[in-house]
Amino acid sequence: MQAVALFPEGPDLRVIEKERPEPADGEVLIRTLSVGIDGSDRRIVDGEIGGDVPDGEDHLVVGHEAVGIVEDANGTELTEGTVVTPLVRRPTDAGSHAAQNGELDMAPAGAFHECGIFGAHGYMAEYVTCEPAYLVTVPASHAEYGFFVEPASILEKSLEQAFAARSGFNWRPESAFVLGNGNLGLLGLARLATGEEFERTYCLGRRDRPDPTIDFIERVGGTYVDSRETPLRQVPAAYEPVDYVFETTGYPKHSVGAARALGPNGVATLQGIPGEATFEFEGGAFHSDLVVNNKALLGVVNSRKTHFEAAVDWLSDVSSGLLDDLVTGRYSVDEIDRALDDSPETLKTVICFE
């Protein structure tokens, strides 16, 4: 079968021929339908992050946003033909607390691998094997968009953590602000704009009209905020002090800037992972603003099965037209280089296996 593999020397990304995997006891065989590509994948391929090969191997199969069909249920509780999407983390020690309680997303470094990112093969292969415990069912009607479940699950986790962090009082949020109009930002905005938790949504970008991301923001009912005109600290005056910030830029000044955009009792979740950066910082104002306004700043990484399930629930209600707006290219495995190309027009590209 074909697979897209990263050889760390170089690094060098190649489409290789691998033997089709045999499911071990308790595992199912999955025929991969499609695998989404995100910014992390591009950084892995560029050798910036992750890329560690599994023990005893010379390559890492990449891809962590996958959807596939159970081809061989292998005596498990799953049924052949079921559409599934796999979680990303796997325990390094199956007996550990982190592995047993289903919260690998909260496990400390060393307690897990991330499939397609480091230490365990990913899903950009015609067939993969997986234990049902790490699979979430996707309605067949949405099989074509199942690669969105993983990124959407990040928003679900962030939202859960944000509401938990505000559960010690009677929080009444009205507005949410997404930092970044890349794929995760726009997908998150579409979720936040459902009206379930927030009445008004905003999204930060730095693009001129006409622009498809601005069109998308407005299509879901959000307000576009141009960071070149309105820096974060001016957002409360220019728009409103917001109740929730969902950061996706990985721009390190946004860690502290997110807090400045919040109103009293607001909460920001950070998801971006920047590299090293040192800068001048109004630390006194940051500190006192957090305190006198009871603000909260949370880092959030990865997600667990319940977040995948919440993401499936939401995505099942989203029109295919809206999701199609986020997909800027579907490619065959032989077109992996084109799929990895990044440009201002790129939102989500996808490798399709059929």
Question: DSSP secondary-structure letter at 209?
Answer: S
Q: Count other Cβ atoms within 10 Å, centred on residue 336.
A: 22
Write down the least CB distance from residue 76 to its own copies, Å.
26
Among 43, 52, 91, 103, binds its own copies (CB under 8 A): 103
Q: How many residues bind its own copies (CB under 8 A)?
A: 60
Considering only residues 257 to 296 of the shown chain, the ones binding its own copies according to CB under 8 A are 263-265, 270-296
- The answer to the question of whether 74 is labelled as a binding residue is no
CA atoms of 242 and 262, how far apart (whole Å): 5
Q: Does 84 bind its own copies (CB under 8 A)?
A: no
- The answer to the question of whether 131 is labelled as a binding residue is no
SS3 at position 215 = helix
Question: DSSP secondary-structure letter at 118?
Answer: B
- The answer to the question of whether 300 is labelled as a binding residue is yes
Among 34, 76, 129, 161, binds its own copies (CB under 8 A): 161
Beta bridge partners, 85, equal 136
Beta bridge partners, 107, equal none
Write down the least CB distance from residue 325 to its own copies, Å.
27
Write down the least CB distance from residue 24 to its own copies, Å.
28
Q: Does 95 bind its own copies (CB under 8 A)?
A: no
- The answer to the question of whether 219 is labelled as a binding residue is no
**Binding map of its own copies across residues 294-333, x = CB under 8 A, - = no contact:** xxxxxxxx--------------------------------
Cα→Cα distances 302→138, 156, 200, Å: 19, 10, 26
CA atoms of 210 and 197, how far apart (whole Å): 30
Nearer to its own copies, 2 or 271 (CB): 271
Among 10, 14, 46, 164, binds its own copies (CB under 8 A): 164
Write down the least CB distance from residue 164 to its own copies, Å.
4
SS3 at position 253 = helix
Write down the least CB distance from residue 125 to its own copies, Å.
27
In sequence order, the 6+-apart residues with CB closer than 8 A to the CB of 225 are: 177, 202, 203, 204, 205, 235, 238, 239
Nearer to its own copies, 100 or 141 (CB): 100
CA angle 94, 90, 66 (to 5 degrees): 150
Nearer to its own copies, 128 or 296 (CB): 296
Q: How many CA atoms lie within 13 A of 130 on its CB side?
A: 31
Q: Does 160 bind its own copies (CB under 8 A)?
A: yes
**Binding map of its own copies across residues 226-255, x = CB under 8 A, - = no contact:** ------------------------x-xxxx
Q: Which residues of 273-310 are buried (b: 16+ CB within 10 A; e: fewer)?
A: eeeeeeeeeeeeebeebbeeeebbbeebebbbbbbbeb
Alpha carbon 208 to chain centroid, angstroms? 26
- The answer to the question of whether 343 is labelled as a binding residue is no
- The answer to the question of whether 284 is labelled as a binding residue is no
- Contacting residues toward its own copies, per CB under 8 A: 97, 101, 103, 105-109, 160-161, 163-170, 172, 250, 252-256, 263-265, 270-301
Q: Which residues are annotated as a binding site for NADP(+)?
A: 181-184, 206-207, 300-302
Q: Which residues are annotated as a binding site?
A: 40, 114, 150, 181-184, 206-207, 300-302
